[in-house]
Amino acid sequence: MRHLIDFGDLSRAEWDTLYQRCSDIIDHPADFLDVCRGRVMASLFYEPSTRTNFSFQTAMLRVGGTVFGFADPRSSSVAKGETLKDTIKMVSGYADVVVMRNPMEGAAKAASLYSDVPVINAGDGGHMHPTQTTADLTTITRLRGTVDGLSIGLCGDLKYGRTVHSLIKALAKFKDIKFFLIAPRELAIPEYMRAFMRQNGMWFTEVTGLESVIPQLDVLYMTRIQRERFVDPLEYERNKGIYVLTRRKLERARKDMLVMHPLPRVDEIAIDVDDDPRAVYFEQARYGMYARMALLADLANQPRLRPEPVEIGKEPLCRNPRCITQSEHYLPPLVKDNSGVACCAYCDSALD
Ligand code: NCD
């Protein structure tokens, strides 16, 4: 693996190796204090973040490396109109690994085309968030022993919830997973994800009610309604507060069910759930730091490689208004095949 843009970039064997390293770090952190000594991580956050930004920074510090970057693009040359390409070319000259979060879908893929060092996608709009998935899989594996064979409920904003999309991508690499996709119709999973699940023969059902399926679940993964992604504020108003997990609802759940959440939580998990032993979301955030330590130990130590020159684009092929090709017009027009449908290789939207 050179970059981590989408969890699909990682084979099952690569994940197993990464998880093994992550588990070793959790059990023997002192053995890893120097694995990134002398390495520098660039942290480019064009969008708010607490956990992902801090956990990447602390991860790098705990393996002996150092960090620079911005958490607010207004404090960088982005505010002067610099292109993503120029920022990345320059930053990848200073750093050994680039961690980037951006509100546009496909932004990390775009960055990887111009970077001399590995790029890690720390969230690209409502599209993907693969390092959250490394936290999620580590949590499930450490606490349940295995991921295979589990019934997993994904609840909330499945349309814009990038953590859910990455988790589904990852779980295609495991056996006999059952998905209960719990969302209002307006916030159902995007079609490209549905096509992905069908193509990979994954078992899934889409429902609107949480209470009826809760007794069947091994993992309940709650998500926030992604307010900042809504074009129509009324759509947000209609859907906010739609799911709230309470202690009373948990009474019907299995005694060993895990309640997970990528955080931040708004109101979808009542505070009185925090003391239930099944609530593992704060542990999940800590596992995320260890998973990022394991990832950086690999990617921050790779040799610099000048990328192949790419075609200069003219007009965006993709019509998705949230796609990075809409704002960075020089990007090459890249197409990929998703289950026989021609899709934008940056944001996965079907091209018509
Ligand atoms: C998530 C994200 O940024 O997508 N947060 C995180 O990285 N832990 C979830 C969210 O913002 O709802």
Q: Say what the pLDDT of residue 100 is.
A: 98
Residue nearest to atom 7 of ligand 1 (CA): 52
Q: Say what the pLDDT of residue 95 is.
A: 98
Strand partners, 260: 221
Q: Is the pLDDT at 166 greater than 90, yes or no?
A: yes
Angle at the Cα of 12 (from 10 to 15), degrees rounded to 5? 65
Q: pLDDT-derived band of residue 147, with 50, 70 and 90 as boundaries?
A: very high
Quickly list DSSP for 114-150.
T-SS-EEEEEETTTB-HHHHHHHHHHHHHHHS--TT-
Q: Nearest Cα to 127, choosing from 101, 153, 97?
A: 101
Distance 290 CA to ligand 1 centre (A): 17
Q: Say what the pLDDT of residue 80 is.
A: 84
Distance 81 CA to ligand 1 centre (A): 27
Distance 317 CA to ligand 1 centre (A): 28
Q: Is 224 in the pocket of ligand 1 (CB under 6 A)?
A: yes
Task: Please state the atom number of ligand 1 nearest to the C-alpha of residue 163.
Answer: 4
Q: pLDDT-derived band of residue 73, with 50, 70 and 90 as boundaries?
A: confident
Q: Is the pLDDT at 7 greater than 80, yes or no?
A: yes
Q: pLDDT-derived band of residue 340, with 50, 70 and 90 as boundaries?
A: confident
Q: What is the mean pLDDT of residues 128-133?
A: 98
Condensed to tens digits (0 to 9), the pLDDT of residues 131-143 reads: 999 999 999 999 9
Condensed to tens digits (0 to 9), the pLDDT of residues 172-215 reads: 999 999 999 999 999 999 999 999 999 999 999 999 999 999 99
Give the rounded percent of residues in the chain with a pLDDT score beyond 90.
Answer: 93
Task: Please state the atom number of ligand 1 nearest to the C-alpha of residue 262.
Answer: 8
Q: Say what the pLDDT of residue 75 is.
A: 80
pTM listed for this prediction = 0.96
Selected residue with higher pLDDT from 48 and 248: 248
Retrieve residue 299's tokens. 């990617």
Q: Is 163 in the pocket of ligand 1 (CB under 6 A)?
A: yes
Give the rounded percent of residues in the chain with a pLDDT score beyond 70.
Answer: 100
| Look-up of token digits 């843009």 | 5
Q: What is the mean pLDDT of residues 19-30?
A: 98
Q: Is the pLDDT at 79 greater than 80, yes or no?
A: no
Radius of gyration of the chain (CA): 20
Retrieve residue 126's tokens. 């409502």
Q: What is the mean pLDDT of residues 297-308?
A: 97
| Residue 48 CA neighbour count, 13 Å, CB half | 6
Residue whose CB lies within 8 A of the most ligand 1 atoms, among 7, 139, 163, 239, for a mutation test:
163
Q: pLDDT-derived band of residue 1, with 50, 70 and 90 as boundaries?
A: confident
Distance 3 CA to ligand 1 centre (A): 20
CA 57 to CA 46: how far, in whole Å?
A: 16
Q: Is the pLDDT at 77 greater than 90, yes or no?
A: no
Q: Say what the pLDDT of residue 352 is.
A: 80
Q: Is 51 in the pocket of ligand 1 (CB under 6 A)?
A: yes
Distance 303 CA to ligand 1 centre (A): 30
Q: pLDDT-derived band of residue 289, with 50, 70 and 90 as boundaries?
A: very high
Q: pLDDT-derived band of residue 333, with 50, 70 and 90 as boundaries?
A: very high
Condensed to tens digits (0 to 9), the pLDDT of residues 270-283 reads: 999 999 999 999 99
Task: Please state the atom number of ligand 1 nearest to the C-alpha of residue 135.
Answer: 8
Q: Is 129 in the pocket of ligand 1 (CB under 6 A)?
A: yes
